Structure 1
Amino acid sequence: MKIPSEYLPVMPYLILKDSKGFLKFAKEIFNATEQLIVPSEDGASIMHGEIKIFDAVIMFAHANENWHEKSAGMYLYLEDVNHVYSKAIGGGARSLMLPDKKEYGYTAGFEDPFGNQWWIVEGEKE
């Protein structure tokens, strides 16, 4: 089996009511980079989008009458939980769990303005 080099074997695919807003949020909060953005014919939304957070690819599209909204829960390792959590809450996210030390690491949770839940955990320093 050959998977294209820009993809992983499993990737979330979100269907969102505000695809452009999600792209902006992901770039501001997670420093996500655009891998592929296909605008709708009228340019008002994103027909198909792909972003990268570190090596992870998240695909997304704008909801319509054929493709109904589907959010997801995602688990993300990153370097600074407090910083990302604060940016997310300041960017309109709703807290699900305040930053706290757990047996599996320093972690927090929030729901973005698009209905996706993010569980963020600080990766161990190398």
Structure 2
Amino acid sequence: MKIPPHYLPVMPYLILDKSAEFLQYTKKVFGAREQMIVPDGDDPNRQIMHGEIKINDAVIMFAQSTDTWKQKPAGMFLFVEDVDRIYNAGIEQGGTSLQKPERKEYGYAAGFEDPFGNQWWITEAEYL
């Protein structure tokens, strides 16, 4: 199996009602980088027909929902460097708390839901 170097064997693909807003949210909260953005039509301010972002080495694909393809958010788990910073940014940018940052048996962790229905479970990588 030959996978292009900028992809992984498994990647989430989100269908979202507000794809352009999702892109901005992930940039502000996670420092996501655009890998590919295909706007819907000729107007660059329109929603996104197909998008790819990178958070560290992880790739998340997403697209604008349509009458045929309804919104399909997801839950994602991420190892991060700073749980407090990302959790606070997620909430400040319109997210809802699912779990305040706290020490768990597997590390320092938190969870929040973004304004688009996706759940983000974040943990600082600690090996006890």
Give the TM-score normalised by the residue count of structure 1: 0.97
Moved over 6 A (4+): none
Are residue 71 (structure 1) and residue 73 (structure 2) matched? Answer: yes
SS in 1 for 2:34: strand
Map Cα deviations across residues 64-83 of structure 1 (whole Å, 9 max, x no partner).
11111000000000000001
Matching of residues 48-67 of structure 1 within 5 Å:
48-67=50-69
Map Cα deviations across residues 14-34 of structure 1 (whole Å, 9 max, x no partner).
000000000000000000000
Are residue 115 (structure 1) and residue 117 (structure 2) matched? Answer: yes
Match of 1:82, as an amino acid? D
Equivalent residues, number: 125
- Residue in 2 that maps onto 1:7: 7
- How far apart are 1:42 and its partner, in Å? 4.6
SS in 1 for 2:116: coil
> Which ranges in structure 2 are unaligned for 5 or more consecutive residues?
none
> How far apart in 2 are the matches of 1:18 and 1:42?
18
Match of 1:86, as an amino acid? N
% identical equivalent positions = 61
Query: Which of 34-43 and 1-10 deviates more?
Result: 34-43
Q: Name the Cα RMSD after superposition.
A: 1.0
